[in-house]
Every structure is written in C-alpha cells, then in structure tokens.
Amino acid sequence: MKRKLTSGFLSVLLLVNLAACGTFTPEGALSVGAVAPSIRTKKLEDVGGDMSKLTTYRYPDERMYQYSIDEALALGKPILVEFATPGHCTVCDKQLQMLKAMISKYGSDVLFLHMDQYKNPEAFTAFQVKGDPWTFVIDANGKVVFRQAGRMLYGELDNVISQVVGKNGNG
C-alpha cells in the first residue's frame, strides 16, 4: 500500500512539473488547418524600441518584434509564431535561443514572431494557447500548418520550416 501511494504521489508531482510551463494540455490550442487569427499585437515600433515592453527574454532579437501578427499575415510569407514567456519559464528561454539560429538561416523566407504572455496576452487568447512554450507555423496563405506544445529540438523545427519554404533542411 505504501508503494502505491508513493508512486501515485510521484505521478502527481510529475504532472504538476509538466504543467508548470504549460506543455501538458495541447487540446485547446488553434488546430492545424485553421486560419490564423489576424490580430493586432505590439511590435518594436509601438513601444519606441523598448524591448522590455515586448518580452521578458534576457537576450531578445529585434527581428522577432518587427511585425504585428496581422501585418505579418498580410505579407503572404510563412510565419513562425513562438509563444514563450521566459520570465516564468526556463524552457521558453532555451526555445528562444534556438530560434535565433533559425532566424539566421530562414529570416529571408520566414517571418519570426515572439509573443510573451505578459506583453501580448491577446495573442495567447486568439490562438487559444494556455501555457508555454508553443510553436505555430503558418503558411503563406495564413493557415496553421504546424503546432507544437513544449520545447523542440533544432532538427525537428528545421525540418518543419524547410518543408514549409520548400528547402532542404540541411543547407
């Protein structure tokens, strides 16, 4: 009996830890195939260049804050929207570090947007995201072609993006 209680307790503890960054409940988020919501979100220009008004990330890349979601959709390019709030999520910090390398590789073909829950909560609501990190890839027609809760590995995300832009993921 004592062993069952201990394993039950550990199971609950594991679930609580998984839910801490929101990677536990992917059911409610905007589905693959859905049209991405065209909403106005804050961008660098809107906050006079003050990155602290856009993100809790320690080392932000200004290329992720050039467009509002509605503006990015209007450009007709693939978009990666990263929902990450590093102010309370260490996994989010790692995810944003990886995206910097992705921007260097795909920045001319894909728009990269970072949404921080503390700074652009309306984006979390519109995409039905609870917790973070979440990665959404939207095609040039504005449809969600990929979504993933939790941290991704470079190779996983590289494969997704290369398929969307029609490039070999190795080059």
Q: Does domain 2-165 have CATH number 3.40.50.1860?
A: no
Q: Report pLDDT for 29.
A: 83
Residue type present at position 128: Q
Strands 111-115 and 79-83, by their bridges, are parallel
| Entry pTM | 0.81
pLDDT in tens, 118-137: 999 999 999 999 988 999 99
Quick check: helix, strand or coil at residue 119?
coil
Domain coordinates in residue numbering, the chain: 2-165
Task: From residue 153, give the alpha-carbon distance in Å to each of 60, 75, 88, 156.
Answer: 19, 28, 20, 5
